[in-house]
Structure 1
Amino acid sequence: ALAKEIQHAKEWVFENTQPMPGVLVRAHCHYYAEARGTTALGEWIAINVPGLQGLGSRYGARKCTGVVHFGMVLLTIEEGRVRECRPLIARPQSLTTVS
């Protein structure tokens, strides 16, 4: 999903309709992912932001086949550049497999 968003951003640049974003955030994904790169257009970072819905919500109560992250992402920006991207992912006991 992130690769597609990055590709779309590059296509908009080549159509001369918008500049390449330095930070691309994709939300409502329910999992954390990060990609970084440098092109002739400059440095960029793309992030899937984990969901904030709790386990008590309708989505949180489902049994999902993929990994589901609950949390947020802390970005430290200095001089207009992302210096740190730190995911803060909760690990609730109810998500732990019991054998």
Structure 2
Amino acid sequence: MVEESNEKINTSEKINTNERIILNVGGVKYETYRSTLTAYPETLLGTMFQERNQSLLQPTNNNEYFFDRDGHLFRYIMQFYRTGEIFWPNESYFSDYSTFYG
């Protein structure tokens, strides 16, 4: 009986898949939709933002999540979530640090 009532509570608390999420990655902020991240449920971010994990999330400023990683390189990860394609520039692109920090 207890399980049934908890299940009803959980299913009634549907999350908004169009909710805007801010990912603060090493100080660089990326804004996207929850649905963009959950479109790939087998990934870390896809799993993290699934409805079933909502109670485990601890945002700052209501919808911002901090990751201590390289924020400039994270843009390639966001590009994958948005397009479904992996883009990785050639080595000469990375030889000029001003591309990232200029």
TM-score by length of 2: 0.22
Which is strand-richer, 1 or 2? Answer: 1
- Which protein has greater RCO, CA pairs closer than 8 Å, 6+ apart? 2
TM-score by length of 1: 0.23
